[in-house]
Amino acid sequence: MNIIFFGPNGSGKGTQGSILKDKYSIAHIESGAIFRDNIKGGTELGKQAKAFIDKGDLVPDEITIPMILDRLKQDDCKKGWLLDGFPRNKVQAEKLDASLKAEGIKLNIVIEMILDRQIAKDRIMGRRLCEKDNNHPNNIFIDAIKPNGDKCRVCGGALTARADDQDEAAIDKRHSIYYNTDDGTLASAYYFRDLTKKDTSIKYITLQGEKDLKSVTNELISKL
Ligand code: AMP
């Protein structure tokens, strides 16, 4: 099963992506995570990418496209893959499409998680981390997981906000790239949506991202 998953920062795409990865036992390829690993490991690729990532800009296509196309050729991708964070603009979409065709690799499913831009921003900025367990869900803007005053709703632990979750300018920059329907990430999603109109063997699935996590998962599973 080969899947591309689109969704803005703050939509819960990563969580749903992990569920899909486990369901189909496929490789989960997250372009952002590959860059972060390279930065941590001090590789040449990491050094090149860091300055762009720190500013919230896209890493140039000359670096990103070959990195992902090479990754798709590795052994663990033979049983299938889930692309998360790539493609992020129209050129990346076109190159990916051309490469898959050239390699005779079939794309099966494209998923678009739909979420209003303001809600996505509130979700990121409302996120709070519990000092005792980062997995305790707390968000001051989501009723279902509102903290208990200023304490963790699960265990009463102290809460903090991640610095990058409060960097409004960086969030706005990333969302401007995502919601750009001319040549940004939504343009690349629509590139594949148009393809699925011609090739009906590829499924294009939309998910309503404002629902709670479980409902989104149920919608996803029912539409696969
Ligand atoms: P993410 O974890 O998906 O939010 O990605 C973190 C950062 O990595 C992004 O803000 C970009 O700077 C870079 N990045 C990730 N994927 C891509 C991509 N497909 N094209 C260019 N830059 C990317």
- Per-residue pLDDT of 116-134, as tens digits, reads 999 999 999 999 999 999 8
Q: Is residue 123 included in any domain, yes or no?
A: no
Q: Is residue 164 included in any domain, yes or no?
A: no
Q: Is residue 80 included in any domain, yes or no?
A: yes
Q: Is 5 in the pocket of ligand 1 (CB under 6 A)?
A: no
Torsion of CA 89, 223, 109, 175, to 10 degrees: 10
pLDDT averaged over every residue in the chain: 93
Q: Is residue 133 included in any domain, yes or no?
A: no
Catalytic residue among 13, 90, 121, 123: 13
Residue 164, pLDDT > 80, answer: no
Return the ligand 1 atom nearest residue 56 CA.
10
Q: Is residue 160 included in any domain, yes or no?
A: no
Number of compact structural domains in the chain: 1
pTM of the prediction? 0.90
Mean pLDDT calculated for residue range 193-218? 92
74 lies in which domain range?
2-116+184-223
Candidate from 158-167, 169-178, 214-223 with smallest mean pLDDT: 158-167
Return the ligand 1 atom nearest residue 30 CA.
3
Q: Is residue 9 included in any domain, yes or no?
A: yes
Residue 144: pLDDT band by 50, 70, 90 thresholds? confident
The vertex-20 CA angle with 90 and 179, nearest 5°, equals 30
CATH number reported for the structural domain that contains residue 58 in this entry: 3.40.50.300
Rg (CA), the chain: 18
Q: Is residue 144 included in any domain, yes or no?
A: no
Q: What is the pLDDT of residues 76-88, one digit of tens each?
A: 999 999 999 999 9
Tell me how far the alpha carbon of residue 158 lies from the centroid of ligand 1, in angstroms.
31
Q: Is residue 178 included in any domain, yes or no?
A: no
